[in-house]
Amino acid sequence: MKKNEYLKDIVYDIVSSVLQGIGIYCFIANCNIAPGGATGVAILGNYITGVPIGLLTFLINVPLFIMSYMYLGKVRTFKTLKTVFIGSIILDLVIAPIFPQYLGDRLMSSAFGGILCGIGMAMVFMRGSTTGGTDIVAKLLQRKYPHMQIGFALMLIDLVIIAASAVVFNNVESVLYGLLSLICMTKTIDAFLYGINRGAMVTIVSPRNEEIAEEIMRQLDRGATFLQSRGAYSKKNCETLFCVIENKQFYLVKEIIDSIDENAFIIVSETKEVYGEGFLAERVE
């Protein structure tokens, strides 16, 4: 079983490396775009020195691998090392010599490059590995500063790298295209990891929750659940209504609530993915 899982990791690494390699070499690098992370630094380094992007990406990650081995453990480090090594080899020895570079519109380059890289990175994350670079930095920062807002810190690092592209490429538009590519990348990763079957979780506090629930079930064919609760101020026991709907149904739900109790207290939360009757039938592994 362990051997099969290892082979599966290798297959995922190879496929993801091909996708990321095409995104980086064919679309992003040739259009002077640096979308943050270790890859962004490698693209800038390649422009200045001519050293292959894959090799530079690996070299940039070497000190991070050492720190990861010391503080995060050898299993996680070796898994990321394997992923980055395969990605670097495929980019420099397979993609660069064989695949042509897209020479068209930079807007298309930044978008398609970001999407392809996002798909590749999502495949890596699905197998419990990382692409190195800022992923390792994030885990090291979390270990050192557990209460630090890691996402904000990493966003600043990416913005600095993207801003540096304006200086290196002597082109302010590189920053704008870099931001667009980064956005496409992160949105694609979210779509693959969390799915596109997103919904809204609605929590309703009202003395007329029974009526509201009946109308939601009758008009929208959605289930609802009552949760026993107690008001902290009033000290009264009550029932809180809880239901999950599709995003497009929220306006109808709000109309139902307002028609029954316009003073109802409503909390709406985005859900990343929803399974069960009326949504996805089963999880896709």
State the CB neighbour count (10 A cutoff) for residue 261.
18
CA 186 – CA 139 distance, rounded (Å): 18
Computed over its alpha carbons, how large is the radius of gyration of the chain?
A: 24
What pLDDT is attached to residue 87? 94
Cβ 105 vs Cβ 74: under 8 Å: no
Tell me, which fold does domain 199-271 have in CATH? Alpha-Beta Plaits (3.30.70)
Place of tokens 């640096």: 34
**Residue 246, SS3 per DSSP:** strand
pLDDT digits (tens, 9 = 90+) for 259-271: 999 999 999 887 7
Q: How far is CA 204 from the centre of its chain?
A: 30
Backbone angles phi, psi at 130, to 5 degrees: -140, 170
**Buried/exposed 18-40: b ≥16 CB within 10 Å, e otherwise:** bbbbbbbbbbbbbbbbbbbbbbb
Q: Which two tokens stand for residue 235?
A: 């000290």
pLDDT of residue 41: 93
Please count the CA atoms within 13 angstroms of the CA of 248 that sit on its side-chain side: 1
Q: Quick one: pLDDT at residue 275?
A: 66
265-271 vs 199-205, strand pairing mode:
antiparallel
Listed by start position, the domains of the chain span: 2-193, 199-271
Torsion of CA 133, 113, 7, 58, to 10 degrees: -30
* 261: Cα separation from own chain's centroid: 38
Q: List the alpha helices (DSSP H) in 226-270.
A: 250-260
C-beta neighbour count of 230 within 10 angstroms: 10
Tens digit of pLDDT per residue, the chain (285 long)?
477 888 888 999 999 999 999 999 999 998 888 988 899 999 999 999 999 999 999 999 999 899 888 887 788 788 889 999 999 999 999 999 999 999 889 999 999 999 999 999 989 888 878 888 877 887 777 777 777 666 677 778 888 899 999 999 998 999 999 999 999 998 898 788 766 666 788 999 999 999 999 999 988 888 889 988 888 888 888 889 989 887 778 888 888 999 999 999 999 887 766 666 655 544 444
